[in-house]
Amino acid sequence: MAQRQKTALITGANRGIGLAIAKLLLARGDLRVLLAARQQKDAEEAVALLGGGTALRLDLTDPLLLEQKALQIERQYGPVDVLINNAGVLHSTELQQTQAEDLLHSLSVNTVAPFMLCKVFGHLMKQRGYGRIVNVSSSWGNFSEGLEGPACYAISKAALNAVTVSCARELMPEVKVNAACPGWVRTRMGGDAADLSPERGAETPVWLATLAEDGPTGAFFRNKVQLDW
């Protein structure tokens, strides 16, 4: 019997780093790639731009619905073997101007939504005996580098790093869960002055998404080099 082609799901795949990750994974030719975006139209435009992949709508702003949505994706598209939690939001207001709603929104999209997707897809991956999960984080959420970013973003990414460690412990050894810092990338979030192209920023997430059996888990990487938390 022919081996089933593995499937990768990328959130926030309609632009920036997510789109670049999808481009690199499609170029490998060994994965079916699901491009998820908040709006179906955006996902479809990304698929048309890349000339491949499958578009789907996945709204991360209400994590309470995500468990049901993740199970629906598995039923509709088949097993998800690789999950790349790339979608994120950045509230760049100063601390004194930050509202509770800003932090709640950041945590909802940057932390709770990835956690719920890790929970559902990770459990199914573990049952099947194989999985790779990549949480696209940031050095701004890194305690060892001082949590230097805007408060909501730094706090929510630090919490995403905690999600990475916790889920890696629960899902090992079948599923490898790691965090990636793509660096300062020229995207709508990173701005035009950033020093890396989206393709360069995508390299570490793609590497972690395709790790061999002897690859790491529960760790944080930038430029494929492990960082301290």
Catalytic residue among 115, 121, 153, 220: 153
Based on the residue annotation, tell me whether 153 is a catalytic residue of this protein: yes
CA distance linking residue 120 with residue 116, whole number of Å: 6
Q: Three-class SS of residue 28?
A: helix
Do residues 109 and 60 lie in contact, with contact meaning Cβ atoms separated by under 8 Å? yes
- For 208, how many CA atoms within 13 A lie in the half-sphere containing its CB? 34
- Residues 76 and 51: their CA atoms lie apart, in Å, by 21
Length of the chain: 229
User: How far is 107 from 198, CA to CA, in rounded Å?
Assistant: 24
Residues carrying an active site annotation: 153
